[in-house]
Amino acid sequence: MQAYVFEPEMVVPTRTALLVHGWTGEAASMSAFVEPLLAEGFRVVAFDLPGHGASTGRELNIPLGVASLAAVARVFGPLHAIVTHSFGGAIALAALAGSVRGQPPVSTERLVLIAAPSSITEITRQFGATIGLGRRGQAALERRIHVVAGNPVEIFEGALQLEAIGLPTLVIHDRQDRELGFHHAQALAEAGKFVTLEATEGLGHRRILKARPVAESAARFVAGEG
């Protein structure tokens, strides 16, 4: 695992924020969040998920992602906050909820989910439809997920995991996100009153990571100002 550590100047950090990128991304994808978090006095840790960036491996799934996140948390924890994008949000939710068998839950005090999926089941079935899987093929795919993850795909429903975790969470999602529609954010927001939903306009699924107001909003929330 390749990790990157950023220390604030003139401050002895007592809290750590972990950045988790999404599918086909890398630690550098989350670079816009580093400076605002440093300004709030946090040590910032980012890492490349398996098969991404400078980390080794040729594949990525939720169990591998959870194992890598847990490993980074053991080295750099305790974690005050986890800030995620896209599939990184699904990984963080599974890690925090203890949804992968054999992996003890990761702990943090605050969570930021940017353009995160609420339903791995929905995504799996959309994928199956896209590649032309019939009923039997889809069932076989979901059985394979059960074998790899140690739990059926339904266990990884984001809103249910978030409800079980119950920690202060900021959900940021663009209304024009074409990769993961805004309904994912709405479903996550329904997990409980501990969830704050912020909608953006016209940033899509990836440009949202480069928007300064998004990074600043995330940093304020992580610092307990939102």
Q: List domains and CATH numbers for the chain.
A: 2-118+157-222 (3.40.50.1820), 120-154 (no CATH)
What b/e sequence results for 126-155 when a residue is b if at least 16 CB atoms lie within 10 Å of its CB, and e otherwise? Answer: eebeeeebeeeebeebbeebeeebebebeb
Average pLDDT, the chain: 91
Q: How confident is the model at residue 226 (pLDDT cuts 50, 70, 90)?
A: low
Share of the chain above pLDDT 90, in %: 69
Model confidence at 69: pLDDT above 80: yes
Mean pLDDT within 82-100: 95
Question: If you average pLDDT over residues 81-99, what whole number do you get?
Answer: 95
> Which residues, 6+ apart, have CB-to-CB distance to 2 below 8 Å?
27, 47, 48, 53, 54, 55
CB-count exposure of residue 51 (10 Å: 0-12, 13-18, 19+): middle
Average pLDDT over residues 217-223: 97
16-67 residue pLDDT tens: 999 999 989 999 999 999 999 999 999 999 999 999 888 998 888 888 999 9
| Maximum mean pLDDT: which of 9-18, 59-68, 176-185 | 176-185
Angstrom distance (rounded) from CA 206 to CA 222: 21
**133 vs 155 pLDDT, higher one:** 155
Name the pTM for this structure: 0.92
- Rounded-to-integer distance, Cα 18 and Cα 91, Å: 13
Instruction: Report which of residues 79 and 125 the model is more confident about.
Output: 79
Is residue 169 very low, low, confident or very high in pLDDT (cuts 50, 70, 90)? very high
Upper half-sphere CA count for residue 41 (Cβ side, 13 Å): 8
